[in-house]
Amino acid sequence: MLLGGFDGTRPLLPGFAVFPNLNSSGQVIFLVDTGADISLIGPGDSVALGLEPQLNLANPHVQQAPTPVTGIGGSVQPYVIQVYLFFPARGPAGNLLPDPYCRVGTIDVLTPAMMRTPDPQLWPMSCLGWDVLQHMESIDFRLGQGQILFHLPA
C-alpha cells in the first residue's frame, strides 16, 4: 500500500523521480489528479530537479509530446522523457517496507517557458494521472483522517 495525504484540500502523494538519461533525480510531491489522463512534472519541479536546461529537442533523450496537455489555463506542448517513479510502500500495519513501489515509463514535462505567466504560484504542480493510477488496485480517500491509501495489486 502507498500512503498519501492532503495539503488542505489537495490530495498528494510524495515520490522520488529518476530521469536516467538526463542524470537527474529528486523528490517530487504529486497531486493525485483522478481527472487527468497523463502524469506530468510541473514547471517548478522541472527547475528544482535541474531538468530545464537539458529539455530541448537537440537532446536525443527528449521528445515533443505527440498531443498537447490541455487544462484550465489552456494548452501546451510538453516534452516527454524517460522516468522511474518510486513511492515508499507500506505493509498492512503501516510499516515502511524495504522495497518501494516503482513505475517505469515516460512522463510529460512542463517548463517555465511554456507557462503563460511568470508567477510560479500560478504554475501547475506535478501530478499523477490515470497512466499511473490505473495500476493501483484501488484508491481509498479517507478525508476524515487526512489520508489516501493506494492499494497495490497482489
Number of other residues whose CB lies within 10 A of the CB of residue 81: 23
Question: Mean pLDDT, the chain, as a whole number?
Answer: 93
16 burial class (0-12, 13-18, 19+ CB within 10 angstroms)? Answer: middle
| pTM of the predicted structure, to 2 decimals | 0.92
pLDDT in tens, 18-67: 999 999 999 999 999 999 999 999 999 999 999 988 999 999 999 999 98
Provide the 3-class DSSP secondary structure of residue 72: coil
| Per-residue buried b or exposed e for 35-52, using 16+ beta carbons within 10 Å of the residue's own CB | ebebbbbbbbbbeebebb
Ordered by where they begin, the domains of the chain are: 11-116 (2.40.70.10)
Q: What is the CA radius of gyration of the chain?
A: 16
